[in-house]
Amino acid sequence: MIIGLTGGIASGKSTVVRAFESLGVPWVDADDVAREVVQPGEPALASIAERFGTAVLQEDGSLDRRKLREIIFNDPKQRLWLESVTHPQVRKRLLEHLERLQASQPAYVMLVSPLLFESGQDALVDRSVVVDVPEEIQLQRTLARDDVSESQVRAILAAQLSRQERLSRADDVIDNSGSETEMREQVAQLDQRYRNLSRP
């Protein structure tokens, strides 16, 4: 069984998936895979450099993610183009990673993806769990964590599904606005549910 784990920016997806990992659950992160497919030598990076020029490359030939982010969040057409290039590559690579994880026959595996619903990756999973926090907390955490302006954070929030839409599409929800202990209790309950559901 594949469980999709998603949530808006700074909702705490990484902390939650590590709590699942501590219970023996293997996982793959779509963000890591998205970075993999734009490494030097990958076809996606060549397409990006062809479209935007060397301004989006660092001196060593790797992608300047910040420059690219500025371009795509200011121009929805460019973002759509970028997604049309990277999403198929990411999906193919995700399936390879998931197959590798499933080879050891765990009770279930997790696909962590901030754009689970937006990218259509929810078609790859059997159930989806949303890590949820109020938007104000997302804003505060992102400003404290990332070197971005408030307007950039608001643009990222606007580009993602609304909180209501994400919650309406979730099979399960983890409220991550409380303490770590409360979060871990919710994870333990869901882990038990998923293990029961995955039994033949």
| Sequential pLDDT tens for the chain (200 residues) | 999 999 988 899 999 999 999 999 999 999 999 999 999 999 999 999 999 999 999 999 999 998 998 898 889 899 999 989 998 999 999 999 999 999 999 999 999 998 899 888 999 999 999 999 998 888 888 888 877 788 888 887 777 788 999 999 999 999 999 999 999 999 999 999 999 999 87
Same domain for 42 and 68? yes
Structure-token pair, residue 79: 């973002």
Same domain for 69 and 163? no
**CATH number for position 158:** 3.40.50.300
pLDDT at 181: 97
Is position 10 annotated in a ligand binding site? yes
Q: Which domain holds residue 187?
A: 1-26+106-200
CB neighbour class for 38 (10 Å; exposed up to 12, middle 13-18, buried from 19)? buried
Same domain for 115 and 193? yes
Is position 177 annotated in a ligand binding site? no
Same domain for 61 and 150? no
Count of domains for the chain: 2
Same domain for 111 and 198? yes
pLDDT at 148: 79
Same domain for 169 and 153? yes
Is position 15 annotated in a ligand binding site? yes
pLDDT at 158: 79
CB neighbour class for 121 (10 Å; exposed up to 12, middle 13-18, buried from 19)? buried
Asked if residue 98 belongs to a domain, the reply is no
Asked if residue 1 belongs to a domain, the reply is yes
Is position 170 annotated in a ligand binding site? no
Same domain for 117 and 200? yes
Residue labelled with tokens 């907390």 = 137
Asked if residue 96 belongs to a domain, the reply is no
Output the CA–CA distances (angstroms, integers) from residue 196 to 13, 169, 189, in the order listed: 23, 22, 11
pTM of the model: 0.84
- The helix (H) or strand (E) run that includes residue 13 is helix 13-21
Same domain for 138 and 62? no
pLDDT at 93: 95
The secondary structure of 137-168, three-state, reads: HHHHHHHHHCCCCHHHHHHHHHHCCCHHHHHH
Asked if residue 54 belongs to a domain, the reply is yes
Is position 67 annotated in a ligand binding site? no
Is position 162 annotated in a ligand binding site? no
Produce one character per residue of 7-32: b if its CB has 16 or more CB atoms within 10 Å, e if not.
Answer: bbbbbbbeebbebbeeeebbbbbbee
Asked if residue 100 belongs to a domain, the reply is no
pLDDT at 28: 97
Structure-token pair, residue 167: 């919650």
Output the CA–CA distances (angstroms, integers) from residue 80 to 36, 77, 159, 192, in the order listed: 19, 5, 11, 39
Same domain for 121 and 142? yes
- The helix (H) or strand (E) run that includes residue 176 is none
Asked if residue 101 belongs to a domain, the reply is no
pLDDT at 48: 96
Same domain for 46 and 20? no
Query: What is d(CA 109, CA 100) in angstroms, rounded to the nearest whole number?
Result: 10
Same domain for 62 and 133? no
